[in-house]
């Protein structure tokens, strides 16, 4: 018995040795802790230092790199550098001071630095220069980047990622305390924005319906994620952002197949992210739930890519009090992006900073962005309260007055339905005419493009079984199959509306791009608790304010204008909810609207939204005590 056992044992040993010699070990980087802060350090060295510090093999030292033309880098310059780095970067900290490495750009010989109190090295050889900032150094002097790890405390990400030296993405092999995924962000000091790279170092999250080469796409469905291989291509929208220098840090949650879902019962496969505003238990809306919640919650994230077919960028922007845009339909290719209805699908961005949003939209939409800075002098205000009474209504009124004064414009309150009745040749009210258009287009297209191939591929692998699908997409697909309405008839109605809209409401204008601006609000001024039980989902019938840009194909930008108080049933305390206004213009005038938003910001009429519990003050996100 024991002999046999030994023989088997030896065989196993030999086999394992043989396998091991064949296996390629991949270094995926390391995680370290420095003064209680977690970092990820990617495996590829980015530079090399000559030093005579005693460093043991396997030991790491911290290095701060600074580039200067000052012949003598003294204590005053050192402390100025430390203040700048602290202000500009969330990754650098004083702990990166085992070694100070000075890159000297002046012409003279570099003086020695004996009075700095830190071990200092220097070089004048520019071909050895690395970007300024924090690094980890090995015993051989190899320099590795420092990426700070944050915890996704509001659960907005589906997968977090890192990019290797060749630019390939893989899942981030790191974790940190906080019961959620860790996100790794490189030092902001490594990047300099240029004309070619206007998004250099800008940290971006991407809704998980956009393919990124080598990463899996879930579309918010677990079975889908596991069924299909990683994407073999990155679509042009995301590639454009990468080419402009953006740093993609992860994929963000979408409600399933980008259908609007509500917390919490609708979100079966994945849990809805937490809206950081107010009591922290408000619905994030959707379908770009992850993009909206993450941009509202995290200072370390600058921008998120979402999609808007029926409000999916705008609603998360509205309830989270950040900027978000639905572009003119057709501005950018949606190749390698999951589709709802090609007639309505668009890709938009969510951000806190108006200037960054404009720059990033310019990158995304390229020559179709049409920046112009001469603005319309007519404003249509749609369904605003005529006699503002509550604090929230007064905020809206102040914003209307401020934008009207800034543009020296004339404002008219209109009802779209009235204008439709009096100017269109169609006698059916808008609400009825376009009632079925959205549910028919999205469901019948998704049946064809998503459901059928998905069920077929899944069934082939699992003995004819059907994959799990959340209640909302399921009920919509069921409706799409049952209804006698058709894509062609509904798409024709949409086209009729679009022609009417550009003749009667927002017309192209040679000097101001659009003859008017159209303003509306979708703020409800009441909480939408995520712990509320709802009726079973029904198809998204109807025509609402949000539908105007959907069917007219016009740009629609959400702008936060402040917040109002409410009594929270969760905290039993007064909390705040965001108030937003949407600005629309004629098709093709995206660049004009976003230039206007940037100017309103310079005038103090629009403010940068803060990350945290409050749009205006930032402040703590309840539950979470600190990040990191
Ligand atoms: C600068 O560094 C490069 C790369 O190591 C080396 O090839 C070159 O000779 C150096 N130049 C000078 C002037 O030392
Ligand atoms: C990616 O896969 C698709 C589908 O198999 C194929 O048509 C396409 O050519 C592939 N693209 C690349 C870049 O390999
Ligand atoms: C339109 O509505 C706004 C906002 O309530 C109000 O301030 C303004 O007086 C109204 N204008 C007209 C012409 O009724
Ligand atoms: C929209 O369609 C639904 C379903 O057919 C119907 O119940 C509802 O009354 C319609 N609404 C309007 C305004 O036509
Ligand atoms: C909040 O609590 C009050 C009092 O208990 C109740 O009347 C109200 O319906 C609650 N609101 C929501 C949205 O749950
Ligand atoms: C926007 O720019 C494109 C490309 O230059 C042009 O075809 C289009 O007419 C412009 N649209 C507007 C509204 O100016």
- CA of 430 from ligand 6 middle (Å) equals 29
Closest ligand 4 atom to residue 543 Cα is 13
CA distances from 249 to 157, 160, 369, 422 (A): 10, 6, 26, 51
**Nearest Cα to 622, choosing from 298, 156, 304, 154?**
154
Q: How far apart are CA 562 and CA 396, in angstroms?
A: 9
Residue 19: pLDDT band by 50, 70, 90 thresholds? low
E strand segments, 37-181: 37-41, 47-48, 61-68, 99-104, 119-123, 133-137, 142-145, 147-151, 157-163, 169-171
The set of protein residues with a Cβ atom below 6 angstroms from ligand 3 is 381, 384-386, 388, 397, 400, 413
Checking if the pLDDT of 2 tops 50, the result is: no
| Residue 370 near ligand 6, beta carbon < 6 Å | yes
- CA of 388 from ligand 3 middle (Å) equals 9
Q: What is the pLDDT of residues 309-355, one digit of tens each?
A: 999 999 999 999 999 999 999 999 999 999 999 999 999 999 999 99
Residue having the nearest C-alpha atom to atom 7 of ligand 3: 397
Q: What is the pLDDT of residue 113?
A: 67
Residue having the nearest C-alpha atom to atom 4 of ligand 5: 569
Q: What is the pLDDT of residue 20?
A: 56
Q: What is the pLDDT of residue 116?
A: 83
What are the percentages of helix, strand and coil residues in the chain, rounded to 5? 30, 20, 50
Residue 627: pLDDT band by 50, 70, 90 thresholds? low
Angle between helices 416-423 and 487-504 (to 10 degrees): 90
- CA of 435 from ligand 4 middle (Å) equals 6
Average pLDDT (292-315) is 98
The set of protein residues with a Cβ atom below 6 angstroms from ligand 5 is 527, 529, 569
Residue 455: pLDDT band by 50, 70, 90 thresholds? very high
Closest ligand 5 atom to residue 529 Cα is 13
Residue 22: pLDDT band by 50, 70, 90 thresholds? low
- CA of 413 from ligand 3 middle (Å) equals 6
Checking if the pLDDT of 25 tops 70, the result is: yes
Residue 13: pLDDT band by 50, 70, 90 thresholds? very low
562 in the Ramachandran plot: left (φ > 0), alpha (ψ -120 to 50) or beta?
left
468 in the Ramachandran plot: left (φ > 0), alpha (ψ -120 to 50) or beta?
beta
Q: What is the pLDDT of residue 93?
A: 98
The set of protein residues with a Cβ atom below 6 angstroms from ligand 1 is 125, 127-128
* 578: phi then psi, degrees, rounded to nearest 5: -70, 150
Closest ligand 4 atom to residue 431 Cα is 13
Identify the nearest ligand to the CA of 229 by its number.
2
Best residue among 524, 569, 571, 575 to mutate for probing ligand 5, ranked by most atoms within 8 Å of CB: 569
Residue having the nearest C-alpha atom to atom 11 of ligand 5: 569
Checking if the pLDDT of 369 tops 90, the result is: yes
| Cβ–Cβ under 8 Å, residues 303 and 360 | yes
Residue having the nearest C-alpha atom to atom 13 of ligand 4: 432
| Residue 229 near ligand 2, beta carbon < 6 Å | no
Q: What is the pLDDT of residues 490-516, one digit of tens each?
A: 999 999 999 999 999 999 999 999 999
- CA of 131 from ligand 1 middle (Å) equals 17
Checking if the pLDDT of 72 tops 90, the result is: no
Q: How far apart are CA 611 and CA 621, in angstroms?
A: 9
* 146: phi then psi, degrees, rounded to nearest 5: -110, 120
Checking if the pLDDT of 17 tops 80, the result is: no
| Sequence-separated (6 or more) residues with CB below 8 Å from residue 93 | 34, 35, 37, 86, 134
| Residue 367 near ligand 6, beta carbon < 6 Å | yes
Q: What is the pLDDT of residues 518-555, one digit of tens each?
A: 999 999 999 999 999 999 999 999 999 999 999 999 99
Predicted TM-score of the model (pTM): 0.94
Q: How far apart are CA 590 and CA 593, in angstroms?
A: 5
Q: How far apart are CA 340 and CA 438, in angstroms?
A: 10
* 559: enclosing H helix or E strand: strand 556-568
E strand segments, 152-193: 157-163, 169-171, 182-186
SS3 assignment, position 86: helix
Residue having the nearest C-alpha atom to atom 13 of ligand 1: 125
Checking if the pLDDT of 15 tops 60, the result is: no
The string of DSSP letters for 367-431 reads GGS-------SEEEEES--SS--SHHHHHHHHHHHHHHHHHT-EEEEE-HHHHHHHHSS--S-HH
| Cβ–Cβ under 8 Å, residues 74 and 100 | no
Q: What is the pLDDT of residues 244-260, one digit of tens each?
A: 999 999 999 999 999 99
- CA of 431 from ligand 4 middle (Å) equals 9
In this structure, what token pair is assigned to residue 524?
């409800």
Average pLDDT (120-136) is 96
CA distances from 109 to 45, 74, 124 (A): 28, 15, 8
Residue 41: how many CB atoms within 10 A of its CB?
18
Closest ligand 2 atom to residue 233 Cα is 13
SS3 assignment, position 324: strand
E strand segments, 433-516: 508-509, 513-514
Q: Tell me the torsion sign for CA atoms 2, 7, 13, 16.
A: negative
Strands 556-568 and 573-584: antiparallel
Q: What is the pLDDT of residue 23?
A: 74
Q: What is the pLDDT of residue 340?
A: 98
Q: What is the pLDDT of residue 574?
A: 97
| Cβ–Cβ under 8 Å, residues 557 and 597 | yes
Q: What is the pLDDT of residue 107?
A: 85
The set of protein residues with a Cβ atom below 6 angstroms from ligand 4 is 431-432, 435, 541
| Residue 372 near ligand 6, beta carbon < 6 Å | no
The separation between the first and the last C-alpha atoms of the chain, rounded to the nearest angstrom, is 56
> Domains of the chain, with CATH numbers?
30-147 (no CATH), 149-369+617-624 (3.90.1300.10), 378-602 (no CATH)
| Sequence-separated (6 or more) residues with CB below 8 Å from residue 363 | 198, 199, 240, 241, 244, 246
**Nearest Cα to 159, choosing from 270, 264, 267?**
270
Q: What is the pLDDT of residue 483?
A: 98
Q: What is the pLDDT of residue 114?
A: 67
Checking if the pLDDT of 9 tops 50, the result is: no
Best residue among 413, 561, 579 to mutate for probing ligand 3, ranked by most atoms within 8 Å of CB: 413
Closest ligand 1 atom to residue 125 Cα is 1
Residue 602: how many CB atoms within 10 A of its CB?
10
| Cβ–Cβ under 8 Å, residues 149 and 39 | yes
Best residue among 128, 130, 141 to mutate for probing ligand 1, ranked by most atoms within 8 Å of CB: 128
Best residue among 378, 380, 382, 384 to mutate for probing ligand 3, ranked by most atoms within 8 Å of CB: 384
In this structure, what token pair is assigned to residue 362?
């310019």
* 568: enclosing H helix or E strand: strand 556-568
Q: What is the pLDDT of residue 10?
A: 41
Q: How far apart are CA 148 and CA 45, in angstroms?
A: 17
Q: How far apart are CA 281 and CA 577, in angstroms?
A: 11
Identify the nearest ligand to the CA of 529 by its number.
5
Q: What is the pLDDT of residue 112?
A: 66
User: How confident is the prediction for the chain on average, in pLDDT?
Assistant: 94
Q: What is the pLDDT of residue 14?
A: 47
Checking if the pLDDT of 414 tops 70, the result is: yes
Q: What is the pLDDT of residue 575?
A: 97
| Cβ–Cβ under 8 Å, residues 332 and 307 | no
Checking if the pLDDT of 6 tops 80, the result is: no
Checking if the pLDDT of 572 tops 50, the result is: yes
Q: What is the pLDDT of residues 81-116, one digit of tens each?
A: 999 999 999 999 999 999 999 999 988 877 766 678
Identify the nearest ligand to the CA of 387 by its number.
3
CA distances from 292 to 154, 185, 276 (A): 11, 19, 10
| Sequence-separated (6 or more) residues with CB below 8 Å from residue 107 | none
């Amino acid at each position: 018995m024991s002999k046999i056992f030994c023989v088997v044992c030896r065989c196993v040993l030999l086999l394992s040795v043989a396998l091991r010699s064949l296996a390629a070990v991949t270094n995926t980087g390391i995680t370290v802790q420095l003064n209680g802060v977690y970092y990820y350090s990617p495996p590829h060295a980015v530079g090399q230092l000559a030093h005579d510090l005693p460093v043991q093999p396997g030991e790491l030292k911290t290095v701060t790199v600074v580039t200067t033309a000052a012949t003598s880098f003294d204590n005053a310059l050192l402390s100025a550098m430390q203040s700048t780095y602290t202000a500009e970067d969330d990754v650098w900290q004083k702990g990166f001071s085992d070694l100070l490495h000075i890159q000297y750009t002046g012409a003279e010989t570099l003086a020695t630095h004996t009075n700095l109190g830190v071990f200092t090295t220097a070089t004048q050889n520019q071909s050895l220069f690395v970007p300024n900032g924090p690094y980890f150094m090995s015993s051989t002097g190899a320099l590795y980047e420092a990426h700070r790890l944050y915890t996704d405390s509001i659960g907005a990400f589906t997968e977090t990622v890192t990019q290797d030296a060749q630019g390939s993405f893989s899942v981030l092999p790191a974790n940190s305390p906080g019961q959620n995924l860790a996100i790794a962000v490189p030092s902001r000091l490594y990047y300099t924005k240029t004309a070619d790279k206007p998004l250099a170092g800008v940290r971006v999250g991407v809704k998980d319906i956009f393919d990124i080469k080598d990463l899996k796409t879930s579309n918010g469905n677990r079975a889908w994620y596991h069924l299909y291989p990683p994407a073999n291509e990155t679509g042009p929208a995301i590639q454009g952002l990468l080419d402009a220098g953006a740093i993609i840090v992860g994929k963000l949650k979408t409600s399933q197949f980008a259908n609007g879902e509500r917390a919490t019962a609708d979100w079966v496969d994945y849990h809805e992210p937490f809206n950081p505003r107010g009591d922290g238990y408000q619905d994030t809306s959707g379908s770009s739930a992850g993009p909206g919640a993450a941009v509202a919650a995290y200072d370390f994230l600058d921008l998120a890519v979402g999609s808007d077919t029926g409000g999916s960028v705008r609603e998360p922007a509205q309830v989270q009090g950040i900027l978000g845009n639905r572009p003119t339909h057709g501005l950018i290719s949606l190749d390698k992006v999951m589709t709802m209805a090609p007639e309505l699908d668009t890709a938009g961005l969510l951000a806190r900073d108006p200037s960054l949003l404009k720059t990033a939209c310019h990158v995304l939409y390229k020559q179709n962005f049409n920046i112009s800075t001469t603005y319309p002098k007519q404003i249509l205000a749609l369904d605003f309260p005529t006699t503002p009474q509550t604090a929230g209504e007064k905020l809206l009124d102040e914003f209307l007055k401020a934008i009207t004064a800034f543009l020296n414009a004339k404002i008219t309150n209109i009802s779209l339905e009235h204008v439709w009745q009096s100017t269109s040749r169609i006698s059916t009210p808008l609400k009825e005419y376009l009632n079925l258009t959205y549910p028919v287009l999205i469901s019948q297209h998704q049946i064809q493009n998503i459901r059928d191939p998905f069920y077929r591929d899944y069934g082939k692998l699992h003995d004819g079984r059907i994959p799990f699908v959340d209640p909302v997409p399921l009920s919509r697909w069921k409706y799409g199959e049952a209804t006698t309405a058709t894509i062609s008839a509904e798409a024709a109605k949409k086209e009729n509306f679009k022609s009417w809209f550009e003749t009667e409401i927002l017309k192209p204008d040679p000097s101001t791009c659009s003859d008017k601006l159209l303003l509306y609000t979708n703020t409800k001024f009441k909480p939408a608790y995520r712990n509320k039980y709802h009726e079973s989902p029904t198809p998204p019938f109807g025509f609402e304010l949000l539908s105007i840009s959907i069917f007219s194909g016009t740009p629609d930008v959400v702008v936060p204008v402040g917040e109002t108080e409410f009594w929270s049933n969760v905290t039993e305390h007064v909390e705040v909810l965001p108030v937003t206004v949407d600005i629309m213009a004629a098709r093709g005038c995206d660049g004009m609207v976003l230039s206007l938003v940037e100017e309103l910001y310079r005038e103090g009429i629009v403010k940068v939204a803060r990350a945290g519990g409050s749009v205006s003050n930032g402040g703590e996100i309840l539950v979470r005590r600190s990040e990191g």
